[in-house]
């Protein structure tokens, strides 16, 4: 099955930025049905159960059955992910305060990773907020709101988008809700999924050796200054995990650190 699977460049973008987005992916009618469902409330399913058994046949279930969303899910967490939790996140009309920067759940240093979908079922212009992401923050594992004292970061990216836009993020991504200066409530549907298989080459790997991969993994988001080198090393480790290629490197960054020869000089 290669329909709608991510390609290697997209996976490298995910490794570098910690999230991917698809604008206006979900069709208009389905967005409208989900908006009505979110107003009514969407009861939580049981954590740790298969996603495909999480909900009865409702509009939100239909969104996550879309072949495009299935392809994204399968590429990142495999064919039978578990439902972890979902939430309908709202920001009230006229709310001038943003949420503190945070990462979800407690400190989590696994290389295996959960994903979180952020689904915006209605138009979300900047004055309505749109979840703010910090690209490249997902390897800096923090405990929830350790970073709450920060206000703004160079390169932070708000999810300003049209109805039907979907982002998928690594569980470590730093993010926060934004103020909503409009007179309408803002809704955002978030879903966390857990893998049930090793996250190794689950995507469409036909372009695995694309020469752009190293460049994408070397992206400098700017906010960490010279420590970009640490981030590149983190991404190389993650890429080795994703591809199973234990000798993968970008510009010798990780190989240099691994060079600890044990061979003693033979007497001459």
Ligand X SMILES: O=C(O)CCC(=O)C(=O)O
- Which chain residues interact with Fe ion by CB under 5 A? 104
Q: What is the DSSP letter of 233?
A: H
Rounded least distance, CB 196 to ligand X, Å: 24
Rounded least distance, CB 98 to Fe ion, Å: 12
With CA atoms as reference, report the closest residue to 31 among 119, 127, 161: 119
Which C-beta is closer to ligand X: that of 61 or that of 105? 105
Instruction: Report residue 121 as tokens.
Output: 């079922």
Instruction: Select from ligand X, Fe ion, none the partner in contact with residue 188, using the beta carbon and a kind-dependent cut-off of 5 to 8 Å.
Output: ligand X
Residue 89 makes contact with ligand X by CB under 6 A: yes
Placement of tokens 């206006």 in the chain: 24
Cβ 199 vs Cβ 243: under 8 Å: no
Rounded least distance, CB 61 to ligand X, Å: 22
Cβ 174 vs Cβ 101: under 8 Å: yes
Instruction: Report residue 233 as tokens.
Output: 């090393």
Instruction: Select from Fe ion, ligand X, none the partner in contact with residue 131, using the beta carbon and a kind-dependent cut-off of 5 to 8 Å.
Output: ligand X
Strands (E), 66-225: 82-91, 115-120, 132-133, 157-158, 165-170, 175-176, 186-194
Residue 75 makes contact with ligand X by CB under 6 A: no
Q: What is the DSSP letter of 101?
A: P
Rounded least distance, CB 129 to Fe ion, Å: 13
Instruction: Select from ligand X, Fe ion, none the partner in contact with residue 82, using the beta carbon and a kind-dependent cut-off of 5 to 8 Å.
Output: none
Rounded least distance, CB 210 to ligand X, Å: 33
Instruction: Select from ligand X, Fe ion, none the partner in contact with residue 51, using the beta carbon and a kind-dependent cut-off of 5 to 8 Å.
Output: none
Instruction: Report residue 225 as tokens.
Output: 């200054």
Give the span between the Cα atoms of 96 and 236, in whole angstroms: 40
Which C-beta is closer to ligand X: that of 70 or that of 131? 131
Placement of tokens 């699977």 in the chain: 5
Which C-beta is closer to ligand X: that of 120 or that of 139? 120
Rounded least distance, CB 174 to Fe ion, Å: 9
- Which residues does residue 87 pair with via DSSP β-bridges, in sequence order? 190
- For 187, half-sphere exposure in the C-beta direction (CA atoms, 13 angstrom radius) is 19
Contact map string, positions 153 to 182, toward ligand X, x by CB under 6 A: ----------------------x-x-----
Determine which residue in the list 73, 75, 131, 157 makes contact with ligand X, applying CB under 6 A.
131
Cβ 212 vs Cβ 176: under 8 Å: no
Residue 121 makes contact with ligand X by CB under 6 A: no
Contacting positions for ligand X (CB under 6 A): 89, 91, 99, 104, 131, 175, 177, 188
């Amino acid at each position: 099955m290669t329909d709608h699977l991510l390609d290697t460049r997209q996976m490298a973008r995910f490794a570098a930025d910690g999230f991917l987005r698809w604008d206006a992916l979900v069709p208009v009618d389905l967005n409208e049905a989900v908006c009505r469902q979110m107003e009514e409330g969407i009861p939580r399913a049981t954590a740790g159960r298969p996603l495909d058994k999480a909900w009865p046949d409702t509009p939100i279930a239909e969104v996550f059955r879309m072949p495009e969303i299935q392809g994204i899910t399968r590429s990142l967490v495999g064919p039978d992910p578990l439902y972890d939790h979902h939430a309908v996140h709202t920001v009230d009309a006229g709310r001038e305060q943003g949420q503190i920067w945070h990462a979800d759940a407690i400190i989590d240093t696994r290389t295996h990773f959960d994903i979180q979908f952020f689904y915006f079922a209605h138009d979300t212009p900047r004055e309505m907020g749109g979840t703010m992401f910090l690209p490249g923050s997902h390897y800096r594992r923090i405990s929830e709101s350790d970073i709450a004292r920060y206000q703004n970061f160079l390169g932070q990216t708000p999810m300003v988008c049209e109805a039907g836009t979907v982002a998928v993020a690594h569980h470590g991504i730093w993010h926060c809700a934004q103020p909503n200066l409009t007179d309408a409530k803002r809704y955002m549907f978030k879903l966390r999924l857990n893998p049930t298989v090793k996250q190794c080459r689950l995507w469409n790997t036909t372009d695995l050796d694309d020469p752009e991969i190293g460049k994408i993994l070397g992206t400098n988001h700017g906010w960490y200054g010279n420590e970009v080198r640490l981030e590149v090393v983190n991404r190389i480790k993650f890429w080795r995990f994703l591809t199973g290629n234990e000798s993968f490197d970008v510009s010798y960054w990780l190989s240099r650190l691994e060079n600890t020869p044990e061979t003693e000089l033979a007497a001459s």
